[in-house]
């Protein structure tokens, strides 16, 4: 039997201190963790809330991804769009791949799912063809918006400290990459994608 939300919570509380805080973990002791453990503490675990609040774009709430079509695309075809953000962040390049129609990951039709798989591979390959990028990290979270959106984080070459799952945090800590440099890298990715996959490069 799977744990109910309350059983999951009770099980977690067994590992907390008197304030309901979990202890620091293996991750916080790993050399890629961006913060020193001294003085760090885990926030208290909150009780489960059922039902959960609707995400943007479900149960009648407006979908900002559908509303943003035509903004931010550096590449697109008839069914997909690859966008950059209006403000650069700490990673050399952060992009998001979305279907133009309103689907989440788990209701994507098989024909779009097949294209999605190929596009993830071709986009990651295009990002890793940049000489300043060692790795294209791919992540789908989907807790804020119900419209499928997959992040690509370009991890800069030579920074082993920035490898792995904490890079999304480093992206927020590092100063923004200069906009013209970021835009040139994005244009390169779009052009490589056009050559290897198809579609068209567009101005964001
Ligand atoms: Zn949508």
Instruction: State whether residue 201 is helix, strand or coil.
Output: strand
Q: Of all residues in the chain, what percent carry a pLDDT higher than 90?
A: 92
Q: Give the pLDDT band of residue 87 (cuts 50, 70, 90).
A: very high
| Percent of the chain surpassing pLDDT 70 | 100
Q: What is the pLDDT of residue 8?
A: 96
Q: Separation of 156 CA from ligand 1 center, angstroms?
A: 31
H-state helical runs in 109-178: 110-128, 167-173
At 45, is the pLDDT very low, low, confident or very high (cuts 50, 70, 90)?
Answer: very high
Smallest CA-to-CA distance from 189 within 135, 123, 134 is with 123
In the chain, beta strands by DSSP E: 73-76, 80-84, 94-99, 133-139, 150-156, 200-201
For residue 102, pLDDT over 90 is answered with yes
Q: Please tell me the distance between residue 82's alpha carbon and the centre of ligand 1 in angstroms.
A: 15
Q: 164 preceded by cis ω (within 30°)?
A: no
Report the first-to-last Cα separation within the chain, whole angstroms. 49
Per-residue pLDDT at 159 exceeds 80? yes
123 CA → ligand 1 middle, Å: 21
Residues with CB under 5 A from ligand 1 (ion): 57, 63, 65-66, 102, 147
List domains and CATH numbers for the chain.
1-50 (no CATH), 64-201 (3.30.428.10)
């Amino acid at each position: 039997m799977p744990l109910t939300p309350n059983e999951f919570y009770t099980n977690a509380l067994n590992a907390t201190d008197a304030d309901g805080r979990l202890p620091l973990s293996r991750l916080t002791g790993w050399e890629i963790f961006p913060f020193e453990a001294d003085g760090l503490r885990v926030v208290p675990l909150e009780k489960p809330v059922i039902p959960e609040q609707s995400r943007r774009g479900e149960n009648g709430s407006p979908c900002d991804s559908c509303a943003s079509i035509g903004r931010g695309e550096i590449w697109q075809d008839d069914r997909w769009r690859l966008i950059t953000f209006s403000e650069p962040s700490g990673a050399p390049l952060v992009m998001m791949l979305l279907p133009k129609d309103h689907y989440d990951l788990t209701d994507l039709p098989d024909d779009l799912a097949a294209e999605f798989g190929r596009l993830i591979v071709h986009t990651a390959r295009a990002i890793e063809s940049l000489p300043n990028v060692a790795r294209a990290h791919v992540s789908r979270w989907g807790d804020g918006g119900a419209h499928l959106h997959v992040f690509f984080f370009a991890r800069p070459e030579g920074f082993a400290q920035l490898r792995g799952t904490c890079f999304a945090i480093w992206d927020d800590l590092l100063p923004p990459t200069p906009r013209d440099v970021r835009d040139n890298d994005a244009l390169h990715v779009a052009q490589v994608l056009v050559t290897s996959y198809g579609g068209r490069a567009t101005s964001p």
